[in-house]
Structure 1
């Protein structure tokens, strides 16, 4: 038995991280590796719905050591600063006989413990101006720790590997590229219909709509889509764009949010652009499946969850023409210049026209979508199992 521990250090608002880990454990579980046991350490005050999402795949341990501003949390922070070790977390890991810590930005050592770290992307080096000086320094130092203390480093794309070699070229032998796969959470037919009705009533969404489910960070580039919607309105059309995602930029760059709200108000787009903020994942899933098309206009991604979800459900997606999206290669994708709202407006108008004229919106059959998802999930799981097994054997 290989005992793998995952520590939830990040905020629950980081939906991308939570979904990544859920997809990772789902994939691993789907391959039935009876020799790997997962223990997920979470803050004691974590929402139960998040815990429930992991219970089918891992033992979940709630602890005050991870609860922000609790006494154990402070003690562990002090021990890390004074002794370069998270002593309380170490004791917890020892208690549950953890042999490998994965995806946790945890660098303390004891015994034969092995550490697997994940670097989501190197956005910092491409868009440094989006970060405050303190946030830049914190992220640079974190990446240095990952490189120095990890036994394996997982990157989500070959595009990220190029960045790693350029910005953190030390010990390339540690690095493994593992392209993650998003799973469409299952809802029963009754749950789906009930959720769809709730969405229609709750948000007043009727008819055809486009869906943009990205966090509202500056590099996510929402404005190009909003400008395209405004152009379409000026052409006499009445498109509906639904957006969801945490409307805060954790880097303190909330001027982007104000700019977005001001643009909508000045151009009278409140009925064309809905800002729903954070919503339950069941609602996200239904919006994805019932929208006319998904949109990801991002200027930078490590490996886009939105694109992966489009691939996993066979949904048409309009995607910015950037290297990572080309690497992800969605068969349902239509590419656009992320800085050209006029070209995007033309694409959206064409997509809406096809719907109006009842032109088929399907790129793939249901069978093709399911087979593609099963193949990608299997490769994802096998790659991770290989990493874990090799590390264990090196102990």
Structure 2
């Protein structure tokens, strides 16, 4: 009889908070499904009222159950009882009902009263942008990241999963020497089937009737949308027949005026004819739009491992990306790099593609999928529990 690793996946997210994390967890489940049956772990999905749980159910993973996460209502009584119990027996008596304590691994690990029994903790840190751009996060968030990373680095029982060698270098730089285990899990994009969608109808749906580039980033300050607008401004007189399409929710808790400041710039520079904001759209539509574009633009000032770049690799689509070390680690075909601080450089690259369109080089994605499958086996030690 097969003994399966039991993994609880932390899916307490939604698209408003981070579309990237939602897709990351879904791709993990799709990746586990690609493994041979004897290696597939049993999954418990921890979700909340706002989590897109139906999308997980549609993956139809064979060994799975679900746990709806509800925080304890904290009042004077529960706080007093739990304070006494922690002092006497080391844990809280009052907990959530039937928390999934049977898991071998909770990933990504999060702290709550019921997790004391998990000595082996699998944390995830996609990148260390807070260390380079502390101005884009609150002091509370920055302090939490620093203290949490120090705590992880000091405990040999803990595992930290990173998404790139570049992130590993940063962890070593800021928090080394470390005692914890570190593993690298380079995620991929396992895309939904878009072959039945009519590209012309999708473009018409969003009023896209010119040659276009697309930017598919959340509207967070470090995503560097302003640079793209400045590049558009530099070539809009030469190329009157193109537009840049921006997808994604037009809000962020990190800078609530971020999107409005972009709009002010567009209005002041008379750029409305070259910019199209289409908001948060179905993923299938987003992928069709990316595939039909002149190129996808990924201008971020910082990334851990870009979902957008991975989507482009899976779609075999051309991409213009900022010159981050992690981007150069991630992609080497159908790509041009630009100085992420230079609107002139990006404008030149866009001008070149509009003037001299390029054909993408064939780059099969199968090898990436196979590496990801083996990566899942190694990181979660799936072979170790099978006889």
Mapped to 2, the partners of 1:313 and 1:20 lie a distance apart of 17
Cα deviation for residue 337 of structure 1 reads 0.8
Which deviates more, 40-49 or 158-167? 40-49
Mapped to 1, the partners of 2:130 and 2:375 lie a distance apart of 27
Cα deviation for residue 146 of structure 1 reads 4.0
Mapped to 2, the partners of 1:80 and 1:298 lie a distance apart of 47
Do structure 1's residue 215 and structure 2's residue 213 form an aligned pair?
no
| Counterpart for residue 339 of structure 1 | 341
Distance of aligned partners of 1:48 and 1:303 in 2 relative to their CA distance in 1, 3 Å threshold: closer
| Counterpart for residue 101 of structure 1 | 106
- Deviation digits for residues 77-125 of structure 1, max 9, x if unmatched? 969995596864584213xx32211213246545566321111111000
3-state secondary structure, aligned to 2:356: helix
Count of residue pairs the alignment pairs up: 370
Aligned residues of 2:14 and 2:22 also touching (Cα < 8 A): no
- Deviation digits for residues 189-209 of structure 1, max 9, x if unmatched? 2xx11x7514413x2111321
| Counterpart for residue 231 of structure 2 | 228
Cα deviation for residue 230 of structure 1 reads 1.2
Instruction: Identify the match of residue 180 of structure 1 among 177, 187, 190.
Output: 187
TM-score by length of 1: 0.84
Do structure 1's residue 131 and structure 2's residue 137 form an aligned pair?
yes
| Counterpart for residue 26 of structure 2 | 22
Higher relative helix content? 1
| Counterpart for residue 35 of structure 2 | 31
5+ residue gaps, structure 2, are none
3-state secondary structure, aligned to 1:315: coil
Instruction: Identify the match of residue 385 of structure 1 among 357, 362, 377.
Output: 377
Provide the alpha-carbon RMSD of the alignment. 2.8
Instruction: Identify the match of residue 161 of structure 2 among 154, 157, 179.
Output: 154
> Structure 2 matches for 1:195-210, cutoff 5 A?
196-201=200-205, 203-210=206-213
Mapped to 1, the partners of 2:160 and 2:276 lie a distance apart of 39
Cα deviation for residue 52 of structure 1 reads 3.5
5+ residue gaps, structure 1, are 67-71
Mapped to 2, the partners of 1:303 and 1:110 lie a distance apart of 31
| Counterpart for residue 49 of structure 2 | 44
Cα deviation for residue 166 of structure 1 reads 1.6
Aligned residues of 2:109 and 2:123 also touching (Cα < 8 A): yes
Distance of aligned partners of 1:160 and 1:98 in 2 relative to their CA distance in 1, 3 Å threshold: same
Mapped to 2, the partners of 1:125 and 1:266 lie a distance apart of 33
Distance of aligned partners of 1:39 and 1:64 in 2 relative to their CA distance in 1, 3 Å threshold: closer
Do structure 1's residue 61 and structure 2's residue 59 form an aligned pair?
no
